[in-house]
Amino acid sequence: MLTLYGRELGSRMLLGTARYPSPAILADAVRQAGTEVVTVSLRRETAGGRSGGAFFELIRELGVRVLPNTAGCHSASEAVLTAKMAREVFGTNWIKLEVIGNHDTLQPDVFGLVEAARILAGEGFEVFPYTTDDLVVAERLVEAGCKVLMPWCAPIGSAMGPQNIAALRTMRAHFPEVPLIVDAGIGRPSHATIVMELGYDAVLLNTAVAGAGNPALMAAAFAKAIDAGRAAFEAGMLEPRDMAVPSTPVIGKAVFS
């Protein structure tokens, strides 16, 4: 069972809600994946809608937990402001914290991220920081009060899959007790399996599902891939052997040659 800020979750797949062909298809994907947490990005003009956001109403009707995010924020103060608006709109202390440092790659601004995390944790938010795989930044985030870490495995929307397995392994080894969620960079189900086999606790996806030809079917595929990776991690996998050099005499060859 995955526990995030005291909340037990049966599914290890978190799903973003942006860029689906329609809200109906998004709802179908959520159902097919069995996901229990969806992220919703709060743009400021979105919050200003007269009806209070019919889209948000559709999200609430999914009956899953909402993790609002601060997507598109480029400074700590902007992210803090957006987080507070999100708390009002969705009535939750959970916040996926994104502070973007580079407009093109959407790489996180880790300095602004730590600053915003400290402010938000101090104000009672339960922060899910979108970060890089840098160990020192991760330590600072934990010091700032984050009880979950969400490293990327490749840039957002790149679909490249895990680019630095060693860094992901290191992070897992250094934070055995902190739930680690790979956020961003996953392109296909096998990528998700790889990071789950490394012992990551969950995967957060959006584009890989929303951009698929059949998003609901892809959501189901990811759910299976994530379960497979987790089960493999728990079962304990064989380590690969180097077969290049024989370690014992080879039958058919003279032993004392």
Partner 1 sequence: MTVLIKGAGVAGLAAAFELSRRGIAVEVLDAAETVGTGASSYAGGMIAPHCEREAADEAVLTLGLSAADWWEEAAPGEVFRRGTLVIAAGRDSGELDRFAARTRGYEWVGGNAIAELEPDLAGRFDRALFFPEEAHLDPRKAMDGLYATLVERGVRFHLGSTDLPSDTSFSAVVECTGAAAIATTTGLRGVRGEMLFLETSEISLSRPVRLLHPRHPLYIVPRDNHRFMVGATMIETDDDGPITARSVMEFLNTAYAVHPAFGEARVVEMGVGVRPAFADNLPRVLDRDDGFAIAGMYRHGFLLAPAMARQLAEKLCGAEHPPFSPNPPFRQGATQ
Counting Cα atoms < 13 Å in the Cβ hemisphere of 75 gives: 3
The yes-or-no answer on residue 96 being catalytic is: yes
Mind giving me the DSSP string for 137-176?
HHHHHHHHT-S-BEE-SSSTT-----S-HHHHHHHHHH-T
Choices 41-49, 79-87, 195-203, 228-236 (CB under 8 A): range interacting with partner 1? 41-49
Select from 1, 6, 8, 45 the one that contacts partner 1 (CB under 8 A): 45
The angle formed by the CA atoms of residues 45, 65 and 73, to the nearest 5 degrees, is 35
Q: Which is nearer to partner 1, 55 or 175 (CB)?
A: 55
Residue 34 binding partner 1, by CB under 8 A: no
Joined together, the tokens standing for residue 131 give 């970060």
Q: Which residue has the tokens 């959520």?
A: 30
Residue 161 binding partner 1, by CB under 8 A: no
Select from 6, 63, 124, 213 the one that contacts partner 1 (CB under 8 A): 213
Residue 39 binding partner 1, by CB under 8 A: no
Residue 53 binding partner 1, by CB under 8 A: yes
Select from 34, 101, 145, 157 the one that contacts partner 1 (CB under 8 A): 157
Element (H, E) at 135: helix 135-144
Q: Which residue has the tokens 């998700």?
A: 192
Cα distances (angstroms) measured from residue 149 to each of 144, 162, 251? 12, 16, 51
Choices 21-29, 109-117, 164-172, 218-226 (CB under 8 A): range interacting with partner 1? 21-29
The active-site residue out of 96, 147, 224, 253 is 96
What is the set of active-site residues? 96
Q: Site residues (CB under 8 A) for partner 1?
A: 21-25, 27, 43, 45-51, 53-58, 72, 157, 207, 211, 213
